[in-house]
Amino acid sequence: MAIPKEPRALMINLMYLVLTAMLALNVSAEIINAFFMLDKGIKHTNEIVGEGIKESIEAMQNTAKDKSHLQPIADAAKTVPAQIEELMGYIDTLRVNITNGSGGLYSTADHKAKWEGKGFTIGKIVEGAEEKLDGKPKGKKNKDITQRLLVDDGQGAKLKELLDKTHDKLIKVVDDLVAEVEKNPIDGVKFDPNQIKKLKENLVLEKTDDKVWQDAGKPSWEAYVFGYMPVAACYPLFRKYQNDAKNAASQVINFLSANMGTKSLVYDQFAVFSSSKKPYILLGETYEAEIALGAYSSQAEFSVSVSGRSLPVENAKAKFTAKPSSVGTQKYTATITVKNPATGKTETVTEEFAYEVGVPSVTVAADKMNVFYIGVDNPISVAAAGVSSNNISVSVSGAGGAKLKPAGKGKYIVNATKMTKQGAYCNIVVTNKKTGKALGSYPFRVKRIPDPIAILTNGKSDGTVKAGEMRVQRGLIAKLQNFDFDAQCKIQSFTMYYTPPRQDPVPAKNNGGTFSGTVLSSVRSAKPGGSFQFVDVKGRCPGDAVGRKLNGLAFQIR
């Protein structure tokens, strides 16, 4: 049995890879379980690839028995599995390290010896209905241990080094054999330089790209890939790197096998898979995923669309990017249309995928100001890293007599009724509904709406006014300046003194802002040389129990 000429066909089977990888930190139990289901599926595929490698090497050895001149190629293929052993073993060690560091494994009493034999510590013995936890890490949601071991302690940096080293070792197997055949030609064997170049360019186990994490503003590759990642999300990611190594080994063996005349398998079952470069993203970052056809023939041609948008296909993969504008679960539908080389029929496969958008930390922010104002709607935004927006509970306590009401995903409205005294605050309390754990309490001061400015309906508060302009004024209005809220203040009352030319002042009181009675008559009688003074102006804003004193106005008529 030989491995497919295009090992990406197998890799894609694994490309579900971090499908929820996309989810932030403390996610739902269903999503956490999806990580383990994904890890289990990739492990099973790795076993299949491993068996394929073994059978291919045996087939090449059998071919060399009949054609002894091909023995150097068969011997080179035999060395390929050894090139990935160090990387495979180190990744197994990382899995044990982060598991033990986060509390060990759950285990049934029957399986305790099995797990301990693989280096794991046992965090808890479970029985009965909890047997489904067997073999899963106790600290599956722990993200501090991955940061400490993989980023701070340098174990992730060593993984990066081994990934690059293993890539080079696999390429060296081919380069050494090609050089040997050039020195000692083999009848009927001539390596195609273009095929060698294609193998190197398309090797599944790619060398790590420093530009990616540098462009993302991260301090290192390991911080970009593993920084504060939940233990559960690391499981399928580790398995993915092992899968890349095995598939890269199968690519090299396929290349060598092709030069011996052995045949590769042709796959004719299809499925859609999505693989993201990062298992979750923060608000403001760009989500990027690769949509690909799984278990395909190297001759397959297919088209990809996501939510109705067609995507270009390069190297048997299509890349989908999105930049969400809100936190929470985001969904998209991927569709692949392909001609089945086995049946000649055109088939269409559709699958829905989801990812979670989180934020860097727990955040409670007033959308308008840093305080709450009495009498108006005070909008706030609440988000927490690692906690789904559906699992966040927000309440209000403390001073200010405030009430809270939801206003959309992650949005709330606060209505306060009393000013806070010095040292007292209105507190917004954020709690994880699922665990009951408080995520933080955030204090805000409560103030009344600032004093508005009393002005004429023409917008003036003092100065010289033409008689004709004054006669058409309808009253006084209260204007809020530099205030971001939608609030309307009103004039409650005032006293006006009209001084006609060469006469004594005539006082008149007015209720409300609209001129009426004597005030209206005086305004309509405005003549050049006269003057108007507005005093004892009182206004009232939303939330005011009583009126407040505002500025006076004075106008000279010309």
Closest among 290, 279, 301 to 12, alpha carbons compared: 290
Q: Which two tokens stand for residue 459?
A: 């917008």
**Residue pair 204/251 in contact by the 8 Å Cβ criterion:** yes
Q: What is the pLDDT of residue 440?
A: 82
232 CB-near residues (< 8 Å, 6+ apart): 32, 35, 36, 137, 140, 141
Phi-psi label, residue 174: left if phi above 0, alpha if psi -120 to 50, beta otherwise: alpha
As a residue count, the chain comes to 558
Residues of the chain with pLDDT under 50: 1-26, 129, 262-268, 297-298, 341-343, 360
What span, in angstroms and rounded, lies between the C-alpha atoms of 453 and 457?
12
Establish how many alpha carbons lie within 13 A of residue 389's alpha carbon, considering only the half-sphere containing its beta carbon: 22
Sketch out the chain's domains with CATH numbers: 8-102+137-358 (no CATH), 104-136 (no CATH), 363-447 (2.60.40.1080), 453-557 (no CATH)
SS3 readout for 211-278: HHHHHCCCCCHHHHHHCCCCHHHHHHHHHHHHHHHHHHHHHHHHHHHHCCCCCCCCCCCCEEEEEECC
Q: What is the pLDDT of residue 341?
A: 47
Q: What is the pLDDT of residue 496?
A: 96
Q: What is the pLDDT of residue 122?
A: 72
Closest among 255, 248, 250, 254 to 168, alpha carbons compared: 248
What span, in angstroms and rounded, lies between the C-alpha atoms of 539 and 510?
12
Q: What is the pLDDT of residue 508?
A: 95
Count of C-beta atoms within a 10 Å radius of residue 260: 19
Q: Is the pTM higher than 0.75?
A: no
